Structure 1
Amino acid sequence: MALVPYEEGRALQDLRRPTATYRFAGRNVRIQQDWERHGVAAVVWDAAVVLSAYLEMGGIDLRDRSVIELGAGTGLLGIVATLL
């Protein structure tokens, strides 16, 4: 189970920022976002961040595996899987 903090009035504010930066697998990952031009597929969603964190914790062994990411927005999850 994951808990995503929610603040009244800020629900979509982070999705409208031009970039989102995360740290996974000892690397900084900076994603460009553009909600206004490309909509929901062009932002990093909380679900991608939570699943990336789960993968980093070693929940699934990705060594010598092929991974396909479908419908995960900007591709953060695929990037993290590659780094791991």
Structure 2
Amino acid sequence: MALVPYEEEAAGPRQLHSPWATFHFASRTIRLQQDWRRLGVAAVVWDAAVVLCAYLEMGGIDLRDRSVIELGAGTGLLGIVVTLL
């Protein structure tokens, strides 16, 4: 695990400060509200969640009739996509 210092004033990942994040998975549009300033790192969609959602959507893993536990996934995009798949 790597810890990367983040400064609000510095040029950084602007998508984290957007109040909304919109994605297209499982033939659906998913729009999530983000609130970095009030809730911090748990209230944004991280790239790792998006990449894992895309991987699962490619169909390499059959999720039907499976139980999935999502831990530490920020806004819950991954759990939403797994449920749709």
- After TM superposition, the score normalised by the length of structure 1 is 0.87
Kindly, what percent of the aligned residue pairs are identical? Answer: 75
Q: Which residue of 1 aligns with 2:61?
A: 60
Structure 1 runs of 4+ with >2 Å offset: none
Gaps of 5+ in 1: 1-8
Gaps of 5+ in 2: 1-9
Q: Are 2:35 and 1:25 equivalent residues in the alignment?
A: no
Map 1:1-84 → 2, pairs under 5 A: 11-84=12-85
Equivalent position SS for 2:74: coil
Q: CA RMSD in A?
A: 1.1
Mark the CA change 1:22 to 1:10 in structure 2 (over 3 Å): closer, same or farther: farther
Aligned length: 76
